[in-house]
Amino acid sequence: MCGILAVFGCIDNSQAKRSRIIELSRRLRHRGPDWSGLHCHGNCYLAHQRLAIVDPTSGDQPLYNEDKTVVVTVNGEIYNHKQLREKLKSHQFRTGSDCEVIAHLYEEYGEDFVDMLDGMFSFVLLDTRDNSFIAARDAIGITPLYIGWGLDGSVWFASEMKALSDDCERFMSFLPGHLYSSKQGALRRWYNPPWFSEQIPSTPYDPILLRETFKKAVVKRLMTDVPFGVLLSGGLDSSLVAAVASRHMVELEAACQWGSQLHTFCVGLKGSPDLKAAREVADYLGTRHHEFHFTVQEGIDALEEVIYHIETYDVTTIRASTPMFLMSRKIKSLGVKMVLSGEGSDEIFGGYLYFHKAPNKEEFHQETCQKIKSLHLYDCLRANKSTSAWGLEARVPFLDKEFINVAMSIDPEWKLIRPDLGRIEKWILRNAFDDEQNPYLPKHILYRQKEQFSDGVGYSWIDGLKDHANKQVTDSMLMNASFIYPENTPATKEAYYYRSIFEKFYPKNAARSTVPGGPSVACSTAKAVEWDAAWSKNPDPSGRAALGVHAAAYEEEVDAKDANLINGSPQKLPGIVEKATTVV
């Protein structure tokens, strides 16, 4: 990941203003510690902090067209840049950077080229011939981008809020799949896939097509000129990413330089079952596996830094981000600069345990659509900012545009959890990789249910956070929370504690409005809370609230206390077993 900052229409274009832009851009240096660049043209500034992944020697930014009349600063990876260069043979390229195609595509096609890009990206482009500019963000919002407005009429763009919050009167998260054009002075959506309308699809389930599309999604993300690996929790999603990647290591160009054995990484409290599960998968795949341990106190000590970097006060996002943040620092210390991760699968296939309560396929499908549309506020934000805090790039194959189109076109009847038919959550994905002749994973791993928090990594970590928050926030403070925080009022002491830290770093109204609110159970949307009357009684949005959906619940009744333990399967944070720990 890189860090970008762009400012257009400043009244002041003095040396002091240039110094201020450099100072603000420096706040993004953790995202791109390898080089800094700045282009000034009149009252326009484009700054860049580079993390060099492709073409480290010549790909410094900003990037230009042939005569430097088009300037672009990019954060991201364009996986189909070689194919796009074939369409641009009349253009002269200065670097081997995958992002340089953006300047030339604009020359060739004007503003209507963004849908041609296959990758994750946020970019800002200046056409100095008429001082017009555009900005765009990838389809799902894998890479972060913010837009802001200054009192002097200036328009700002930045990878993270911290680079523009002090100088903008108002700012907001730039919508995924959208483009801003200075000629229109407004955002418009460039990403218009069939699933976006949320109409119920009817395409039959084709396991071979689903498998082959995912394999392509993984392989294209192995484009790199630096050491890389896979975040492996031992859960289904990360295990499939690792299984596919390990099969294609030998054919990679990078294998000649970095070796053909895949590196995998996992984090957890010592003795946690997650570490054991990840080790089992790593041994089966023959990867070079690295285990990292952290303590509850180390996680608590990192909270302020985590919230500063991830720029949210959402409870489950902070819970899940902390282990990922700590692990990313360890990974970077090994010289690794890029990792593949498993985010997105639960949203696409309805993998969270609350989906067991979906009343019909229509509501199941609409919930998955809503979950994908909000990923940029939750799991994409976590995966990107937790890793970028240490100059590490995370790539997410499940959020490949083509793969999403294939997966979301399947009749959702196939995605429903059907115990009577032996179908657990994400059955269609598991079945697609159930290859008897050449197994990707052992059967018991392939069909392992999304599990509850382990005592070691799940409950002790979350309970440790709650205990710490209870010591920092009094009953009186929580009782008066609606007066202190009238917008998105925290309902628990843990939420209040995180909010107070967030407000210390980002005190403006615009900042707190970038964080979503509303009721949630196990990371559901507010609408899905209605699927079970009991859910509205539990203010904790973690997987513990999704009672009665674990496999054991189909076989016998348990009392409420036991149900809390048996069925507290993590969903987003929760990720410590399947997502957070090593982030699927």
**C-alpha distance from residue 535 to each of 139, 368, 523, 538, 574 (Å):** 32, 19, 12, 6, 17
Res 460: pLDDT: 86
CB atoms within 10 A of CB 34: 17
With a threshold of 0.95, does the pTM exceed it?
no
Q: Is the peptide bond before 62 cis (omega within 30 degrees of 0)?
A: yes
Which residue intervals of 53-201 are DSSP H helices? Answer: 81-86, 101-109
Q: Active-site residues: which are they?
A: 2
- The secondary structure of residue 515, as a DSSP letter, is S
**Edge-to-edge strand order for the sheet containing 338-340?**
288-293, 263-268, 228-231, 338-340, 393-395
- The secondary structure of residue 92, as a DSSP letter, is P
Cα torsion for 413, 362, 426, 211, to the nearest 10°? 70
- The secondary structure of residue 349, as a DSSP letter, is H
Specify whether the CB–CB gap between 366 and 198 falls below 8 A: yes
Q: Is 342 annotated as a binding residue?
A: yes
**C-alpha distance from residue 323 to each of 273, 319, 424, 463 (Å):** 15, 8, 28, 15
- What is the rounded CA–CA span in Å between residue 3 and residue 13? 22
The three-class DSSP label of residue 290 is: strand
Beta strand 338-340 with 393-395: parallel, antiparallel or unpaired? Answer: parallel
Specify whether the CB–CB gap between 373 and 365 falls below 8 A: no
Contacts 24+ apart (CB under 8 A), 413-420: 413/361, 414/205, 415/349, 415/350, 415/361, 415/364, 415/365, 415/368, 416/350, 416/358, 416/361, 416/364, 417/350, 417/355, 417/356, 417/358, 419/551, 419/554
- What is the rounded CA–CA span in Å between residue 249 and residue 244? 9
Return the percent helix, strand and coil in the chain, to nearest 5. 45, 15, 40
Specify whether the CB–CB gap between 334 and 573 falls below 8 A: no
Res 372: pLDDT: 98
- What is the rounded CA–CA span in Å between residue 522 and residue 266? 23
Report the DSSP beta bridge partners of residue 137. Answer: 122
Find the radius of gyration of the CA atoms of the chain. 23
- What is the rounded CA–CA span in Å between residue 127 and residue 111? 11
Res 536: pLDDT: 72
345, containing H or E segment: helix 345-349
Q: What is the pLDDT along the chain (584 residues), one digit of tens a residue?
A: 799 999 999 988 889 999 999 999 999 999 999 999 999 999 999 999 999 998 888 878 999 999 999 999 999 999 999 999 999 999 999 999 999 999 999 999 999 999 999 999 999 999 999 999 999 999 999 999 999 999 999 999 999 999 999 999 999 999 999 999 999 999 999 999 999 999 999 999 999 999 999 999 999 999 999 999 999 999 999 999 999 999 999 887 777 777 789 999 999 988 887 888 999 999 999 999 999 999 999 999 999 999 999 999 999 999 999 999 999 999 999 999 999 999 999 999 999 989 999 999 999 999 999 999 999 999 999 999 999 999 999 999 999 999 999 999 999 999 999 999 999 999 999 999 999 999 999 999 999 877 543 333 556 898 999 999 999 999 999 999 999 999 999 999 999 999 999 999 999 999 999 999 877 776 788 888 889 877 777 656 565 556 566 554 444 433 333 333 323 333 333 333 333 333 34
Look up tokens 């206390």; give the residue: 561
Q: Is 335 annotated as a binding residue?
A: no
- Is 538 exposed, middle or buried, given 0-12, 13-18 or 19+ CB atoms closer than 10 A? middle
Res 572: pLDDT: 35
Q: Is 239 annotated as a binding residue?
A: no
* Residue 300 amino acid letter: I
**C-alpha distance from residue 230 to each of 388, 392, 443 (Å):** 15, 12, 21
Residue 132, phi then psi, degrees to nearest 5: -85, 160
Beta strand 263-268 with 288-293: parallel, antiparallel or unpaired? Answer: parallel
CB atoms within 10 A of CB 75: 33
**C-alpha distance from residue 326 to each of 151, 237, 242, 313, 430 (Å):** 38, 21, 21, 18, 30
* Residue 256 amino acid letter: C
The structure tokens listed for 14 are 């003095």
Q: Is 38 annotated as a binding residue?
A: no
The three-class DSSP label of residue 358 is: coil
Q: Is 241 annotated as a binding residue?
A: no
Res 456: pLDDT: 35
What is the per-residue burial (b if ≥16 Cβ within 10 Å, else e) of 390-412?
Answer: bbbbbbbbbbbbebbebbbbbeb
The structure tokens listed for 303 are 């909270």
181, containing H or E segment: strand 178-181
Residue 290 CB partners (closer than 8 Å, separation 6+): 229, 263, 264, 265, 266, 330, 331, 334
CB atoms within 10 A of CB 153: 10
